Structure 1
Amino acid sequence: MKNLKAYIKPILILGSFLFALSVQSQELETLINEALENNPEIQKFDFQYKIASEKVNEVNSLPNTEFNLGVMAIAPEMEMPMERFRVSVMQMLPWFGTITARENYATSIADAQYIEITIAKRKLIASVSQSYYNLYANNAKQKVLTENIKLLETYETLALTSVEVGKASAVDVLRLQMRQNEMQQLKDVLSQQFLAEQTNLNNLLNRENDAAVTVLDSLIMPSEDFEITSENLALNPELLKYDKLYQSIEQSELLNQKESAPMIGIGVEYINQDNSPMITSSYKDMLMPMLSVSIPIFNKKYSSQTKQNELEQQEIKVQKQERLNTLETLLSKAINERVSARISYDTQTKNLKQAKDAEDILIKSYETGTIDFNDVLDIQELQLKFQMNQIESIKGYYVQSTIINYLIQ
């Protein structure tokens, strides 16, 4: 068990690896640590592991000791000596090594249960991280909408001035106002979605639903991706779990072989007798050591268990291969989507720069009195689209990095 814990401990450090954002990672790392400490699901698995560990002590015991007492209720009138009562004690002993085999089997079950704790912690870390990035994206979009609403208010002021001098119509002003209303509506919807996601994160941390969560003002796209070693996928606890289950079946078979062996019983019986003239010895009572052997002659039960163990091991091998294939697919998908997120981010950055250049041209056009507010709305809509897509690209990059981290770290 010590070796198992030593292997798993560094795995859990993945939660603090937040892609080279040492300052920005503090808030998320704090949330992750709080979740690992307070999450009920983690506590549930921890109790299950403690129960499995305690079973090691349960199996480290001998069968019940048998005590027998017999008393002569009605004694017939006979000249022969009659017993008054008899007492016997018998202890059955398992075959050599059976108790050790039971302990080893119980320990292997506990080891497999400990892996479940590790898997649950890794999934919790990934869930907290993804929820946090969702909150970041939501908050960033609300800020972008606020900035665009202010920008439209500026254009509205320009439109009102143009209306006064006859260079724009009231329809232009109304269209700018309607666009502001749409943005305010979207912002209000995002605000409600933020509260829902905040509740989700607070539940993962097992705290009050309305507890405030502070997120970063901005996330940067890392200059380069962290190295991906796909060979580490084979060390994922989801796959290690099958190795531990396979080992538990091996221990189960060793125990089955031991239990199919005979059991030996040792004991003693004491018989107390009445005094009788027929007894010439000074010892009238009897003391008899006893030895018994329990042989499983009809051992079909044990041969069937052996066959079941063989089938279970084959099943575990197939399950492990199936899960490995699934994890490989998830890893490949996460890698590709992270690459796509970076490509999208670069594209949105270029588009956003060009949109701002177009905006500057419109502003300069206003100075010459030739501004077209239809163009203003078109450019503003494109700019908002690029900003939203850029935020989604950053969120997507970090979410996919979290998945990759879960799979191979």
Structure 2
Amino acid sequence: MKIVKYISGFCNLIFCSLSKRVVVFGCSLFTFHFTSGQQLETYIEEALANSPEIQKFELQYQITTEKTNEVRTIPNTEIGVGYFVSEPETRTGAQKAKVSIKQMIPWFGSITARESYASAIANAKYEDIVIAKRKLIVAVSQSYYNLYTINAQQKILLQHIELLKTYETLALTAVEIGKASAVDVLRLQIRQNELSQVLAVSEQDFLAEQTVFNTLLDRDKSIEIQIVNELTIPSENVSFTSTTLALHPELIKYDKLYQSVEQSELLNQKKSNPMIGFGIDYIAVSERPNMNFSDNGKDIIMPMVSLSIPLFNQKHKSKTKQNQLKQQEIKVQKQERLNTLKTALDKAITDRKTARIRFDTQAKNLKQAKDAEEILVKSYETGTIDFNDVLDIQELQLKFQMNQIASVKAYFNATTIINYLSN
């Protein structure tokens, strides 16, 4: 009877330990409550600060922004110097050399149009930074959830290995008193070996995912990651609708690209206008020998005004047509992307609901498995215990716990996508 009491009391302790694995824990995408929120948020901030990809897009944005200074310039000043090999004779003397200066000036508003176009391109490029940051946050968060999942699974595996060792002790005792066979002991040992193998593989998976995570943070792959101890599905969902997609940066980028094409067309219209040129010609004249009059050898100064008129402006008409087609293309691309984002959002919402349903179902199954194990242990009081049934129940418990962790991972991965699409 002492053995029976020992078995019953120990198993009740195990049941309480396993049941405490189901913990309600509420969180949003990028912040957890308590210390876990600080951990992930800190990792995200580090990733955003160190990411070479983010730095690449920021440099590209700075380049496009600097182009606004480039387009403020006017055409080069033309300076020409000529020397008359055969000096043409004029009334006032022979022309020796010629110096000319000419400056073309774009039509009124052309420089402003160029600035507006360059600024519109820069605004569109800025959205690449916003999108890249969002995608990096998603990648860091999902990798963190993968690490949490592997870590939680390892804890469960260790618990079940210890539980099997306890069952092995009970089986050995049962063999001594004739209530079990040596085969039962061997089966329990084989099951321990299988779980130890799964645990060893899981440790390698954790190291591989740790490398992925540290790479996202652009740091040494061997740095240890601090993982939250317990994370489960919160009690209530936050509702999301696809109407929030209108402000998503992936769609805003198309709006800004459309605006850049509008500015491109305004610039094209300005380019189709004439350009005004101002200049001056200076011709050095030598004195005529043996002649005396007031303008003898007087140099020639000739101010000039010129117009550059695009008489053959087919290229500007073609550019207008191209801009119209580009605007239509951008509208179609935006609608296509909007449909894709709507589908992704609806799927993420559905996946999150499904994860909650599965989590709740596994919780019920785990409780029923616990009840079944209690019944099985009580049967020991009648003088018999079937360790095959013990293994079956233990395997079911492990399956349900693993499924719960997978549901938690699926829930938060879906929440990550929802926040990426909705915020």
Q: TM (normalized to structure 2)?
A: 0.90
Partner of 2:171: 159
Question: What is the CA deviation profile of residues 71-96 of structure 1, one whole-angstrom value per residue up to 9, with x for unaligned ones?
Answer: 23454899861122111100000010
Alignment CA distance shift 1:143-1:172 (3 Å):
same
Indicate the larger mover: 224-233 or 249-258: 224-233
Helix, strand or coil for the counterpart of 2:93? Answer: coil
| Cα pair distance change 1:73/1:167, threshold 3 Å | same
Structure 1 pair 77–236 and aligned structure 2 pair: CA distance change class (3 A)? closer
**Between 41-50 and 362-371, the greater mean CA deviation after superposition:** 362-371
* Alignment partner, residue 260 of structure 2: 248
Kept after mapping to 1: 8 A contact 2:92/2:285:
no
Determine whether 1:288 maps to 2:302: yes
Residue number in structure 2 paired with 1:6:
none
Which residue pairs with 1:4 in the alignment?
none
Structure 2 residue 220 is matched with structure 1 residue 208:
yes
Number of residue pairs the alignment of both structures matches: 395
**SS of the residue aligned with 1:83?**
strand
Contact kept, 8 Å, 2:113 with 2:267, in 1: the verdict is: yes
> For each residue in 1:123-146, what CA deviation from the matched residue of structure 2 results, as whole angstroms up to 9, or x when unmatched?
100110001001101100000000
Q: CA deviation at 1:318?
A: 0.4
2:284 aligned residue (272, 277, 280):
272
State the secondary structure of the residue aligned to 1:266.
strand
Counterpart residue number, 2:245: 233
Q: Which of 111, 116, 122 does residue 123 from structure 2 map onto?
A: 111
How far the C-alpha of 1:57 sits from its partner, in A, is 0.8
2:196 to 163, 184, 192: 184
> Is 1:306 equivalent to 2:338 in the alignment?
no
Q: The residue matched to 1:352 in structure 2 has which SS?
A: helix
Q: CA deviation at 1:369?
A: 2.9
Counterpart in the other structure of 1:369: 383
Q: Which of 384, 397, 402 matches 2:411?
A: 397
User: Which residue does the alignment assign to 1:347?
Assistant: 361
Coordinate RMSD, CA, aligned: 1.8
Q: Percent identity?
A: 62
When the two structures are superposed, what TM-score results if normalisation uses the length of structure 1?
Answer: 0.93
Deviation at 1:16, TM superposition (A): 8.2
> Secondary structure in 2 aligned to 1:336?
helix
SS of structure 2 residue aligned to 1:269: strand
SS of residue in 2 equivalent to 1:82: strand
Unaligned runs of 5+ in 2: 1-26
CA distance in 1, matches of 2:303, 2:204: 82
Residue 228 of structure 1: SS of its match in structure 2?
Answer: coil
> Contact 2:265–2:323 (CA<8 Å) still a contact in 1?
yes
Contact kept? 1:75, 1:82, Cα under 8 Å: yes
AA partner of residue 261 (structure 2): I
Correspondent of 1:329 among 328, 332, 343: 343
Range with greater deviation from structure 2 (374-383 or 199-208): 199-208
Query: Cα–Cα, structure 1 residues 398 and 76, in superposed 2: closer, same or farther, change >3 Å?
Result: closer
Q: Which residue of 1 aligns with 2:18?
A: none
Specify the alignment match of 2:397 in structure 1.
Answer: 383
2: CA distance between counterparts of 1:227 and 1:201?
30
Q: Is the 8 A contact 2:362 2:400 kept in 1?
A: yes
Deviations 1:121-168 (A, max 9, x none): 001001100010011011000000000000000000011111112211
**Which amino acid in the other structure matches residue 88 of structure 1?**
S
Q: Which amino acid aligns with 2:422?
A: I
Using the alignment, how far apart are the partners of 2:121 and 2:293 within structure 1? 61
After superposition, residues 84-95 of structure 1 pair within 5 angstroms as 84-95=96-107
Q: Is the 8 A contact 1:108 1:244 kept in 2?
A: yes
Matched with 2:183 is: 171
2:76 is aligned, of 64, 68, 87, to 64
CA distance in 1 between partners of 2:29 and 2:414 (Å): 14
Q: What is the CA distance between 1:19 and its match in structure 2?
A: 6.2
- Aligned-partner residue type, residue 211 of structure 1: I
Task: Provide the C-alpha distance between the structure 1 equivalents of 2:90 and 2:244, rounded to a whole number of angstroms.
Answer: 86
Which segments of 5 or more consecutive residues in structure 1 lack a partner in the other structure?
1-14
Q: For the Cα contact (< 8 Å) 2:110–2:267, is it kept in 1?
A: yes
